[in-house]
Amino acid sequence: MINEPVYNELIEKYKAHYGKAPEVVSYAPGRIEVLGNHTDYNEGYVFSAAINYGTFFAISRNDAGVNRIVAGDLMHEVTFPLTGATPVKEDTWANYVIGTVAGLNQIKQQNTGFDAMFLGNVPMGFGLSSSAALEMCTAKAVCQLYTITADNVTLAKVGQAAERDYAGCPCGLLDQISSLCGVEGMLVKTDFRSLDVETVDMGPSVCFLMCNPHAKHALVDGQYATRRQACEDAAAYFAKVLPHPVAALRDVTMAEWEANKDGLDPIVANRAAHPIGEDERVLLGAQLLEKGDLEGFGKLLFDSHESSRTMFENSCEELDNVVAVAKTVPGVLGARLSGGGFGGSAVVLVKTEAAESAAKAIAEQYKAKTNKDCEVSMIQPSIGASIVYTA
């Protein structure tokens, strides 16, 4: 089983805390975003992957009439009612669980309480969607325990609503879909209009590094929401000026952007250029992968970062430095920020044979350039969320 030591630790802690064994245990991984930044809520395309780090969630029914959830690393317990639970202000990690359970309650009312605990190894603060991993392992376990039938898109939407209503982030569906649909060794390519998911094999000759320069950014709260708003404003403008229907920026080409951008506020125009360009890069990237052109695919990652840096302005000095350093390291094919931006990590596509030396070189050269540390993790595209145990 993937991450078995974490599973074993959770089972031991669960038994010690609740004095019984769980009835169900689920697992859900974090994700990397490989290409296609801020395209999900613009109904566009993304290449992502579930990663080899994830979270386990152990659960059984109780007759206490309340739900109990314990964070297995902190060993803090939060109790919340079966219905009508509102977000908590302390132990805010619990909101991802509470929000997900609330969403599932709308599909099928759970009429007994549960005793649950989760434990994971998704590195925190790397932008690897530890929150989506928690939502999706919660969803899988609760569905299994209460025999709730829901497909992946429904579960992803439950997680998205938990982020929006219980954690305050108006995110798209990328993180949850990637966590649910991951396949070992595969990229996940999602069309966020049809919500069709395909897997794409990159072969064993390349893998990923995640580089976290620990960028501390004050005042970034709400940046995601303002970017999203700018995209929606731009889509409304293009819907007026283009001769064909525009429901989202997915419907606008770079050529149409170029020809019509002068009618937009210059900042809104730049924001719109990013997801429009990203969609084109994802589609081109799919063709390159089909031909086995990994070098060409890697270059698109560098282009993506450049577009983030200059047009969407969701990068930061630290991430720019990581990408600049990675560009000079032998074996590196591409690098870009991954996820929302404004901090977090850069994802690096690297030849497998050079991965270890490249990881070391990036950390060393980043230190030499900035006198600061950059933490580098090796990432393997891995399996998606599943039930790993039932009594």
Out of 26, 29, 35, 40, the residue judged to bind ligand GLA by CB under 6 A = 40
Q: Using the rule CB under 6 A, which residue among 33, 115, 135, 251 binds ligand GLA?
A: 33
Give the residue among 218, 214, 202, 189 at the shortest CA–CA distance from 282. 189
The total of other beta-carbon atoms located within 10 Å of residue 237's CB is 20
| 59 closest CA partner among 144, 134, 154, 152 | 144
Identify whether the C-beta of residue 154 lies closer than 8 Å to the C-beta of residue 70: no
175 is catalytic: yes
Q: How far is CA 152 from the centre of its chain?
A: 15
State which of positions 163-202 bind ligand GLA (CB under 6 A).
171-172, 174-175
CB closer to ligand GLA, 132 vs 252: 132
- Give the footprint of ligand GLA on residues 300-339 (CB under 6 A): 339
Does 54 sit near ligand GLA (CB under 6 A)?
Answer: no
Query: Count of alpha carbons within 13 Å of 89, Cβ hemisphere only?
Result: 0
Query: Which range of residues in 30-38, 101-109, 279-287, 364-372 is near ligand GLA by CB under 6 A?
Result: 30-38
What secondary structure letter does DSSP report for 48?
E
Cβ proximity to ligand GLA: between 345 and 365 the closer is 345
**Would you say 68 or 271 has its CB closer to ligand GLA?**
271
With b for 16 or more beta-carbon neighbours within 10 A and e for fewer, the 34-51 pattern comes to bbbbbbbbbbbbbbbbbb
Looking at 18, 29, 32, 37, which residue binds ligand GLA (CB under 6 A)?
37
Question: How far apart are CB 37 and ligand GLA at their closest, in Å?
Answer: 5
Which member of 175, 251, 279, 303 is catalytic? 175
| Smallest separation, CB 348 to ligand GLA (Å) | 17
Query: How many residues bind to ligand GLA according to rule CB under 6 A?
Result: 11
Tokens of 306: 């450049």
Q: How far is the CB of 323 from ligand GLA (least distance, A)?
A: 16
Q: How far is the CB of 130 from ligand GLA (least distance, A)?
A: 11
Q: Please say whether the beta carbons of 338 and 127 come within 8 A.
A: yes
Give the up-direction half-sphere exposure of residue 375: CA atoms within 13 A in the CB hemisphere.
11
Encoding tokens for residue 267?
């900042």
Tell the smallest beta-carbon distance from residue 93 to ligand GLA (Å): 16
- The one segment of 21-29, 35-43, 64-72, 105-113 that binds ligand GLA by CB under 6 A: 35-43
- How far is Cα 189 from Cα 182, in angstroms, rounded to an integer? 10
* Rounded Cα gap, residues 311 and 37, in angstroms: 12
Residues 339-358 that bind ligand GLA (CB under 6 A): 339-340
Task: Give catalytic residue positions.
Answer: 175
Q: What are the residues binding ligand GLA (CB under 6 A)?
A: 33, 37-38, 40-41, 171-172, 174-175, 339-340
